[in-house]
Amino acid sequence: MTRWISALFGRLYWRTFLLIVLLVSASLATWFQSFRLLELGPQVEQTSRQITSLIDLTRLALIHSDPQYRVSLLDDLAKKEGIYIYPRSPGDQWTPMNHSEFTRRLEVAVDTRLNEQLDFADVVNDRPGLWIGFEIEGDPYWLLLDRSRIDPSLSETWASWGVIATLLALIGAAVIASFVNKPLRDLRLATARVGAGNYSQMLDEMSGMREIREVNRGFNRMARSLQEVEEERALMLAGISHDIRTPLARLRLEAELSVPDEQAREHIVEDIEQADRIISKFLEYARSTTPKIETVDLNALIDFVRDRYQKDETVVLHLQTPPVPPVRANTLELQRVVVNLVENAKRYALTLGEVHTDLDISLQPGIDHVQLTVRDHGPGVPADHLAQLTRPFFRGDAARTSAKGTGLGLSIVEKTITAMGGRLELSNAEPSGLQVQIWLPQASAHSA
């Protein structure tokens, strides 16, 4: 849960959204508190005027009215105005008013206006209300008022407005965060596409803020320049390949026709073939096209690899390939990756004490990915060389064998896997051997 929350709020959108919500909420809370404090004084003044007026009018009405009409007068006050007058006795059970800033200031204001000390209570004889104890010509009485009449609570109103303001703040924060995040998200996706060699989709240079348009325009110019450089490099390498392979073909033909020593002829042909393979590796690494992503059946792909090496006595494949979900990749490129790994193991990872290479290939499904593992039983490589094996032209021959190569095999594998949205990891297996783990996204997870 903590990891999920950390990943969620590590995103720029949610961090911006949360920051805006906090700022708006703090502003609203400060504004409400300030308004409440500014409103408290006038509300106390108005309420104290109402209470003193009611007490004065009640006193005058009872003092100056005919005693025979006092009962009907009290009934009219109760029915029409909601004002109840009760004689106060020493046995009355009453609870003093619960003190808040408002009630404290209200009591002081009423006592000051009437120039006498009154009793304020919340409950008298188990009956709640606003009770005020006062005297009429020395006789004690209770005045009972409806609290909402003289102290109208604005809590519900404030709560309603607070909820509305908070919802508006959330909507505004979402809109603002989206407005800020969208250009950055587009730039991130475009950068990833360009990094993978896809220059087909450029950023919008016509809409949005001027600063965003300028950034998009600069990025598009950079992407076009990189595309031109890649095209020129591919064209140059193709030309070099053609120019070199032509004399290599002539050399091979001349060696087969003019070198009488069969062993020397075989060595020359082998060197020529190795040079041709090196050229092919250079061209394969230099390819800048992004593979077309499709749904790939890994089980069928492993069957293809098994059939290809079934009669190859230099390698023995041990397969652990239970049925796994299809993945998002490119069939041809993934076949090249697995074949590249097998050929790399054949050259560099001869099983200790054997004349062939034992190779374990396994598949393992995950939550949203499928793991493809290729593990040999050779001597492995030093731990400090693992991170460098995928660097172009780096070769760990000293730790494995004296076989010759370009040092591009694993570089090509990593470049291809990354272009297909996967991930590659190299590690030493126990007790010996190099292990290559590849994670590819599931097609079903991608669709969901």
* pLDDT higher at 379 or 276: 379
Asked if 277 and 248 touch (Cβ cutoff 8 Å), the reply is no
> Cβ–Cβ contacts within 10 Å for residue 184, how many?
14
pLDDT given at position 401 = 42
CA dihedral 272, 287, 413, 397 (to 10 degrees): 40
Backbone angles phi, psi at 80, to 5 degrees: -90, -35
Q: Is residue 322 part of a domain?
A: yes
Provide CB contacts within 8 A for 198, sequence distance 6+. 290
Name the band, by pLDDT with cuts 50, 70 and 90, for residue 176.
confident
| pLDDT score of 367 more than 70 | yes
Q: Is residue 231 part of a domain?
A: yes
For 208, counting Cβ atoms within 10 Å of its Cβ (0-12 exposed, 13-18 middle, 19+ buried), the class is middle
Q: Is residue 280 part of a domain?
A: yes
Please identify, among 128, 156, 184, the residue that sits at the C-terminal boundary of a domain.
156
CATH of the domain at 16: 3.30.450.300
Q: Are residues 297 and 244 in the same domain?
A: no
pLDDT given at position 133 = 87
**Amino acid letter, 380:** G
Name the band, by pLDDT with cuts 50, 70 and 90, for residue 169.
confident
Q: Are residues 204 and 303 in the same domain?
A: no
Q: Is residue 192 part of a domain?
A: no
Q: Are residues 19 and 151 in the same domain?
A: yes
End-to-end CA distance of the chain: 22
CATH of the domain at 226: 1.10.287.130
Q: Which residues pair with 441 in a beta bridge?
A: 369
> How many residues appear in the chain?
448
Q: Are residues 432 and 384 in the same domain?
A: yes
Please state the domain count of the chain: 3
Q: Are residues 380 and 318 in the same domain?
A: yes
pLDDT tens digits along 90-138 = 888 888 888 777 778 888 888 888 888 888 888 888 888 888 888 887 7
Q: Are residues 16 and 145 in the same domain?
A: yes
Q: Is residue 99 part of a domain?
A: yes
| pLDDT score of 364 more than 80 | yes
Q: Is residue 432 part of a domain?
A: yes
Q: Is residue 138 part of a domain?
A: yes
Of 195, 221, 438, 443, the C-alpha closest to 340 is 438
Please identify, among 261, 290, 319, the residue that sits at the C-terminal boundary of a domain.
290
Instruction: Give the integer Cα–Cα distance in Å for 258 and 114.
Output: 132
CATH of the domain at 390: 3.30.565.10
pLDDT given at position 360 = 93
Which domain range does residue 273 map to?
200-290
Nearest 5°: the CA angle 28, 106, 139 is: 155
Q: Are residues 152 and 109 in the same domain?
A: yes
pLDDT tens digits along 311-363 = 888 899 999 999 999 999 989 889 988 988 998 888 888 877 777 889 999 99
Q: Are residues 352 and 251 in the same domain?
A: no
| pLDDT score of 279 more than 80 | no
Sign of CA dihedral 122, 126, 131, 134: negative
Instruction: Give the integer Cα–Cα distance in Å for 372 and 442.
Output: 12
Q: Which of 9-13, 19-23, 148-152, 214-218: highest mean pLDDT?
A: 214-218
Of 389, 388, 319, the C-alpha closest to 360 is 319
Q: Which residues pair with 86 in a beta bridge?
A: 142
Q: Are residues 305 and 415 in the same domain?
A: yes
pLDDT given at position 286 = 60
Question: Are β-strands 327-329 and 315-320 bridged in parallel, bridged antiparallel, or unpaired?
Answer: unpaired
Q: Is residue 247 part of a domain?
A: yes
CA dihedral 308, 408, 333, 377 (to 10 degrees): 40
Q: Are residues 142 and 124 in the same domain?
A: yes
pLDDT given at position 290 = 66
| pLDDT score of 399 more than 50 | no
pLDDT given at position 438 = 93
Q: Which residues pair with 332 in a beta bridge?
A: none
Asked if 285 and 192 touch (Cβ cutoff 8 Å), the reply is no
Q: Are residues 252 and 375 in the same domain?
A: no
Please identify, among 290, 314, 347, the residue that sits at the C-terminal boundary of a domain.
290
| pLDDT score of 149 more than 70 | no
Q: Tokens for 262, please give them.
A: 């069969």
Name the band, by pLDDT with cuts 50, 70 and 90, for residue 189.
confident
Mean pLDDT of 134-159: 70
Q: Are residues 263 and 331 in the same domain?
A: no
Point out the least confidently predicted range of 253-267, 292-306, 364-378: 253-267
* pLDDT higher at 356 or 176: 356
